[in-house]
Every structure is written in structure tokens, then in C-alpha cells.
Structure 1
Amino acid sequence: MYENINDLLKQIALGEDSVLELKSVEISGNKVIGPRKDSMADELAAMANTASGVIVLGVDDKTREIQGVPREKLDLVEDWIRSICNDAIDPPLDCVIRKRILPDQQGIEKAILRIDVPRSLFVHKSPNGYFRRIGSSKREMKPDVLARLFQQRSQARLIRFDEQTVPGTTMEDLNPKLWNRLRTVISPKEDREFLEKLKLIAKDEDGEMRATVSGLLMASDSPTSFMSSAFIQAVCYRGTERNAAYQLDAKDITGPLDSQIRDGCKFVERNMRVFAIKAPNRIETPQFSMNAVFEAVVNAVAHRDYSIYGSKIRLHLFSDRLELFSPGTIPNTITIESISERQSARNELISSLLARCPMNVDAVGSRRNFIMDKRGEGVPIIITESERLSGRRPVYRLLDDAELMLTIFAAQPPHEKDSFEL
């Protein structure tokens, strides 16, 4: 939008509208005193809550005169904007801030800051409330309007959240090596047609081709570059307490979702204890069934609510249990009591794409090839295999109607005198 300087100058001459905001900047010493910080935060959030737009700092909004920003203060103003985006808006807002040179009415070159604000995946709150942009001004949203916006930008939307486009992305943000592994013999030969058919890319409201949420999660080397919470926080503790002083191992598991599943299982296998009994044929007893761990991690990754900002999957390993936290409530009308009997997918597209990915997971004492299916067998496997190994049934809990917690209890070491730990 307005990438050509002449186009930007023409739009400035016409004045503000729904997608253009002009602001003069006042500086005293090393402090920005105008516009006010809270007011600037409201403007940024309002634009992100409405549509993609541009804010130009260094232009008077009434006279449309290009006043500029002192060149030696550009970095100061840029840092000020970044702090507002990160600290004064919830969730934080990702913007593109660029320094540009524009001629004023006399032809004198002035430095300005251009802020490109993408239409967000989320609903942003600023210091004075929830705002949207109507014409050239911001308006606080009434409860019914706010409710509709939350619904539109959640998985309840007619276009599911995992099919929505991600602002600021392009087809180039997807790695051909990653999306080519999703091809089948009947897939379209032409790349763009293939990506569109799989809904890895789609057109946004402005007609621009963008990567979708599923496209980033499945075919990007670094999904967290655009979705900062799309990873697994894995921690192994010594003993039974959640205490940073007792951490034995910790890793943020990132990358495409199938890699996260594989690496999450490897983290558990690497850190859990395995016992053995000396016998004619040595019998090994791991703390956890890797089949159950695999199904649990798959469910967490495939069915978490990716529309919840700031919440990641947490995989915490203790001496007596494994705890797995997945953001989001249980989809549809499933309850804790019926979770082992019913099947429902929050992210249909992600689930179908994962089903195309053969995943090799090393289980203790053997190597197994897993291919995710959609038959609803994951939870029964988690329950039966874990209970058979430890003698205790895994426990599902819903925390504050916002996070699903699974506890798998560890098997106890054998009591035989000739048993030992590997």
C-alpha cells in the first residue's frame, strides 16, 4: 500500500481516511511528548482491529504539511513506537516501521517514519479500551461490535482459524522442501495451484496472496517468526517439584508441527528413566509408553487453540509423572468425561496435513513408524497403554476453561533384586 512515494504524497494531500493516519511529532530533549503515548497506542490498535493501514509520523493531520522528524531523533521515535507496540497494546502488535524521505511543499527533503499496520489475527486492547477505525477517526467498540469481532477472529469463524491468512506473509515464507513432502501422485504440478488447493496460501481481504496459519505451521522453517507462541516448551525436573532450581533439561521445541511432535517425543525418551531386569531375555521397563507419549503430543499440537496469543504447549517431565498443557478448551460439546469416547478436531486443516506426514519416532527398544489418523483412537491409546505400564489411569483436567492438562503417571522401578537402570 502506497509503496510508491508519489502515491503516498498524493494520499497525504487528500488527507486521512480509514487506512491512513497522519501525526506530527513533538520532541523535548530525548523524550517524545506528542502525540501522547496512550493516544498513539489507541490509534495503532484501532487500525489493527479494522484493516491494514499506514500511519505516517512527521505530517500534520490538519494542514497535511510534511513537517518531518529531526534525523538525529529518528531512532528515538522508532524506539518509542516499538515500546508502545510491545508494552502498551495487548496482545503486542507487530508492525513494520520504515524511515523515509519525503519532499515538503517547497521541495525540501524531510525525514518521516512510516508505520505499516497489518490487519491482525487477534483483537487488540489499548490503554483506553478496544477501538476500531471508522473513516479518519477511531471509535471505541460497543459490546456487541466487540463480541462480533472476537468471533470473526477466532476459530468460530466460517473460515476456520487454521485457514486464515497471516498478515505480512508471502508465498516465499514457505519452504518448498517442506511443502513438497505433502504432495501426492494426484497433486497439481504447478506450485501455486498446489499450495492454494491445500490451503497453505490464500488471498487476503486486499486480494494479496498470503500464507495461511496452517501453511506457516506446516511449511515454514520458523513459524514462531509470525506466531510467537507456536512451539512446545519442554522441561525436565529433578524430583516432583516444578522448580527452576531443579531443572535437568529444557528446550523450546520449534519448527514445523511434525518436527515438533518428533522432537517432543525425543525429549521425553532422552530424559525418562528405563529399568531392566536380568533374565534369560532382558526385560526393559520405561517410565512412559512412547506410544502414549506420541499420541498425547500429537493431540496437543494438532488440537490446541492457535488463536490464543501468548500461550504455548508445555511439556513438563517429573520423576513420577509427565504433564502436558495444551492451550484452549475442549472443542465442541466434548467433556472431560467423554473425551475417550468421542472425536472432534478443532483444526481440521492442520489435522489433514499432519495425516500426510509419516513420522519416525524412536520407541524404547524398537523403531516405529507413526502416521497420524483421524479415527479418534489417540486418547484410548494414551489411557490403556499408560495404565497398563504404571497401574494408574492418566488424568485429564480443564484449567479455567482455557487450557487442557494431561497427567501421565510414571511406571515404578521393578522390585526384583537383579533389576538395574539403563
Structure 2
Amino acid sequence: MLDSTDNLLKQIALGEDSTLELKAIEFKGAHISAPHRNSLADEMAAMANSNTGVIVLGVDDKTKTISGIPVEKIDTVETWVREIANDQITPPLLCRIRKLAVPSATGGETAIIQIDIPRSLFVHQSPGGYLYRIGSSKRQMTPDALARLFQQRSQARIIRYDEQAVPQASLDDLKTPLWQRFRSPLSPKDDREFLSKLKLITRDEDCNLYPTVSGILMATDHPAEFITNAYIQAVVYRGTERNAAYQLDAKDIHGSLDEQIRQACLFVERNMRVYAIKKPNRIDTPQFSLNAVFEAIVNAVAHRDYSIYGSKIRLHVFADRLELYSPGAIPNTMTVDSLPERQSARNELLCSLLAKCPMNVDAYGSQRNFIMDKRGEGVPIILTESEHLSGKRPIYRLIDDAELLLTLFAAPSPHGDT
């Protein structure tokens, strides 16, 4: 990709080719009138289906003149591009959007937007169909070419998803304190060698270094900027119904995965009831076993399918239960019934990194020192501790073979209220 403004300007002067598309932006009032959303979606998908490339907004493709984008409208254009990548392309396209200040045709300075589009691991469909790029134009893929591309991209995804490169991110996006915590006296002294050995960065097919999915999830402050919906949506409802009118508290929990786990546990602890009985001595009975909640959130974060776009972990707390939705089917040959007996990890690298993260939270009765133990004790703890407290065994349910729902039942009030 064009990694400097000077290189980009030189390429613009040469005009469009297989890896460069130029588009002028036109406005009608506050709204973008050109190019059409579907047209830009087709260009983006065609490039992702072909080779790594760049789309520049704010440049006339015929004259190569930099027309620019008004500075006060640059954020509107950025949001518009993100919506197109998420809503007009299937599966949604991950791309990097950069705002640049460049010399204008009149001699001053203006703004443009550079969209870096990596060669995708998926085959993308846009409003125009399945397209690919040849030279400076796009074409419909023939059935046999489409079949070959699906086969090639499927083979590329044999690499574990959590070890794959995230081309729309750069090494600078990894926060030093977050990856330094994994260092030990035996770790390589060279930073890049250490990050590569830990698989927080990797090389793509062109030998460029990029953060991996695990690197983004464990060593950035806001993983959802690069991996759609890599956060936890937490909501508390007053009664037993999922109704926005009855919301008591809500929070989108971001941060590195271990931080998301901590914040989600604190969210439940802050919002759940604790019943007190004063005879003969005061006894506090929490609504939920915090140790079970901790294990459930760890499992959801560690084992969810991060390759599923448009799905997030959802943590919903009601007066009578807690529901935790985790995107993805159960890995390998496991079933809902075999969860307490078997162990299988979808994200081996993520699990190993979480096993190196100190608890740094109230252990909620857990004796371990690190967030994960990898011994397969999580589900048994969830089931036994929750059932002991509430008298009801938690329920795992697979929804449409695409999302795992865990329901933990609340302890009944000793006072008979709800």
C-alpha cells in the first residue's frame, strides 16, 4: 500500500491502474451526491477480491486533479465509507481509512481520504455482484473464476483466524505496555522478534509486517476499530423482559480482552442485588455467583468466533437471570451436552495469551493466578456454583448453529420479593 503522501501523489499523477482508484466527491447540501454508494461498494469489493489496493476520494479520475474534500465535511465522508464497507458489502469489508492533507490544485491545501484495501481472506459480494479488478476497470467474475477464488480463499483461511494478519492496522497501533507485559527474562531482546515469536505480528504474502488478530485483541485499547464488534454489550433490565423502556444500566465494554473481562465482571457486580439475612448473624446472598460469572465471561471472550462480522458478545442481566450470548458455533465436534466433559479451543493463541494475564481482579473465590487455566474447569464451575446458589442448573443453548447462549438463573430473594 502507499505508505507516504509523496508516493501517493506520484501515483495519482500517473493515474488509475489495478491497485489505484480515484473518485471525486460531490455534495448536494450536507449529503454526498457522488459517487453513488453502490458504485463505491462495487469498487471496494472488486479490489478486495483481486489485489491489495488504494481508493482515493477527492481526486478527479479523468483529469487527475485534486479537487479535495471540505475539511468540515471530512468526518461525514469517513462515516459514509465505513457504512458502505459494513452495510453494502457481504461479508463486511475491513479497510483502513486515512484523512490526509495535500496540496490543492489552486496552490493551497485541501483534504482527501485514502482507503487502504487489503486482499481479503473472503470473497465479497457488492450490489453489482461478485466483481474483480482488471487494470483500472472492474468486471463480473465468471462462474468458474468465482469457484476458483472461493477455493483459494478457503485454503488461505486454514491458518487459525486468531493468527492471521490484520492489514488495515499497523505495528504502531499495538500499545507497548500491553505487549510488554508478556515479556519474560527469556524473551528475545529485539522487539519485532519478540512480537513475531509471540504471534502478535506476522508477515502477509508480500512479506509486510502487520498485527495479527490476537495482537489487535490483546494489545490495543480499542480492538473494535479494526475487528468489527470485538467488544461486549452489557445491559441491565429492571424486570424479566428485554425492553429498552426498562433499562437500568447499559455499557459497551471496550479495551484489550483481559480488560473487557474485568470490566464486564465489575458491571455485573455493580448491578446485581445482594440479599442480607440478619438472623442469627448477617449472611449476604448475591444474586449470581461471581466466580461462575467470571468463568462464563472468560469462556465467551476466549472462545467466540471473531471472524463473524456483525455479532458481538451480549451480556444481559434481568431480575431472574443473566444471559450471555457468544458469537459462533461450538468448536470442533463438541456439543452442548458435552461441554462439561470436553475441552476444545477455537482460538489457541488467544487462550495462551489470556493464560499469561494476571487476574488483577477480585478472584471471586477462584484460586488461580491467571485469567485462564486451560484445564477445562470453567464449565463445571459455572454449572455447579450457579446451581448451588439458585437451585437451578444453568442452560446452554445453540441458536441457529451460530451463537451460543448461556443462561444463569438468579438466586431467589429470601424475602420473597422480585
Q: TM-score, normalised by structure 1?
A: 0.84
Q: Distance in 1 between matches of 2:294 and 2:4?
A: 51
For residue 100 of structure 1, the aligned residue among 99, 102, 106 is: 102
Contact between 2:101 and 2:109, CA under 8 Å: does it hold in 1? no
| 1:66 aligned residue | 64
Which runs of at least 4 in structure 1 moved beyond 6 Å after TM superposition? 24-33, 72-78, 107-112
Q: Which segment drifts farther, 330-339 or 320-329?
A: 330-339
- Whether 1:408 aligns to 2:408 is yes
- The CA deviation string for residues 90-111 of structure 1, in whole angstroms up to 9 with x for no partner, is 32654335353377xxx99997
Number of residue-to-residue matches in the alignment: 408
Which residues in structure 2 correspond to 1:4-43 (within 5 Å)?
A: 7-8=7-8, 11=11, 16-23=16-23, 35-43=35-43
Q: Distance in 2 between matches of 1:282 and 1:4?
A: 67
Which residues in structure 2 correspond to 1:205-224 (within 5 Å)?
A: 205-224=205-224
Contact between 1:24 and 1:67, CA under 8 Å: does it hold in 2? no
Q: How far does residue 28 in structure 1 lie from its aligned partner after superposition?
A: 8.0
- The CA deviation string for residues 233-277 of structure 1, in whole angstroms up to 9 with x for no partner, is 111111111111111111111111111111111111121122233
Q: What secondary structure sits across from 1:388 in the alignment?
A: helix
> Unpaired runs of 5+ in structure 2?
none
- Whether 1:181 aligns to 2:178 is no
Contact between 1:326 and 1:404, CA under 8 Å: does it hold in 2? yes
User: Which amino acid is the alignment partner of residue 98 of structure 1?
Assistant: L
Q: Distance in 1 between matches of 2:173 and 2:26?
A: 38
For residue 86 of structure 1, the aligned residue among 69, 77, 83 is: 83
CA change 1:74–1:149 in 2 (3 A) is farther
Q: Distance in 1 between matches of 2:150 and 2:399?
A: 23
| 1:377 aligned residue | 377
Contact between 2:69 and 2:112, CA under 8 Å: does it hold in 1? no
Contact between 1:222 and 1:255, CA under 8 Å: does it hold in 2? yes
Q: Distance in 2 between matches of 1:22 and 1:293?
A: 51
User: Which amino acid is the alignment partner of residue 257 of structure 2?
Assistant: L
CA change 1:4–1:200 in 2 (3 A) is closer
Contact between 1:358 and 1:369, CA under 8 Å: does it hold in 2? no
Q: CA RMSD in A?
A: 3.4
- The CA deviation string for residues 284-310 of structure 1, in whole angstroms up to 9 with x for no partner, is 322211221111001000000111112
- The CA deviation string for residues 102-134 of structure 1, in whole angstroms up to 9 with x for no partner, is 77xxx9999794533221566543222232334
CA change 1:384–1:6 in 2 (3 A) is closer
CA change 1:38–1:187 in 2 (3 A) is same
| 1:295 aligned residue | 295
Q: How far does residue 11 in structure 1 lie from its aligned partner after superposition?
A: 4.4
Q: Distance in 2 between matches of 1:108 and 1:278?
A: 79
- Whether 1:144 aligns to 2:147 is yes
CA change 1:380–1:135 in 2 (3 A) is farther
Q: Distance in 1 between matches of 2:304 and 2:390?
A: 27
Q: Distance in 2 between matches of 1:6 and 1:175?
A: 27
Which residues in structure 2 correspond to 1:3-402 (within 5 Å)?
A: 3=3, 7-8=7-8, 11=11, 16-23=16-23, 35-56=35-56, 65-69=63-67, 79=76, 82-87=79-84, 89-90=88-89, 91=92, 94=95, 95-98=97-100, 100-101=102-103, 113=112, 115-119=114-118, 120=120, 123-141=123-141, 142=143, 143-145=146-148, 147-148=150-151, 151=154, 157-362=157-362, 369-371=368-370, 372-402=372-402
Q: Distance in 1 between matches of 2:217 and 2:233?
A: 16
User: Which amino acid is the alignment partner of residue 337 of structure 1?
Assistant: D
CA change 1:55–1:269 in 2 (3 A) is closer
CA change 1:127–1:27 in 2 (3 A) is same
- The CA deviation string for residues 37-90 of structure 1, in whole angstroms up to 9 with x for no partner, is 4222201222133332123457676xx643442x57687698557525414633
Contact between 1:53 and 1:117, CA under 8 Å: does it hold in 2? yes
Q: How far does residue 401 in structure 1 lie from its aligned partner after superposition?
A: 1.4
Contact between 1:48 and 1:117, CA under 8 Å: does it hold in 2? no
Contact between 1:239 and 1:246, CA under 8 Å: does it hold in 2? yes
User: Which amino acid is the alignment partner of residue 150 of structure 2?
Assistant: A
Q: How far does residue 390 in structure 1 lie from its aligned partner after superposition?
A: 1.4
Q: TM-score, normalised by structure 2?
A: 0.85
Q: Distance in 2 between matches of 1:110 and 1:174?
A: 31
- What is the percent sequence identity of the aligned residues? 59
- The CA deviation string for residues 151-183 of structure 1, in whole angstroms up to 9 with x for no partner, is 357xxx232111112123222212222112212
Q: Which segment drifts farther, 369-378 or 80-89?
A: 80-89
Q: How far does residue 402 in structure 1 lie from its aligned partner after superposition?
A: 1.2
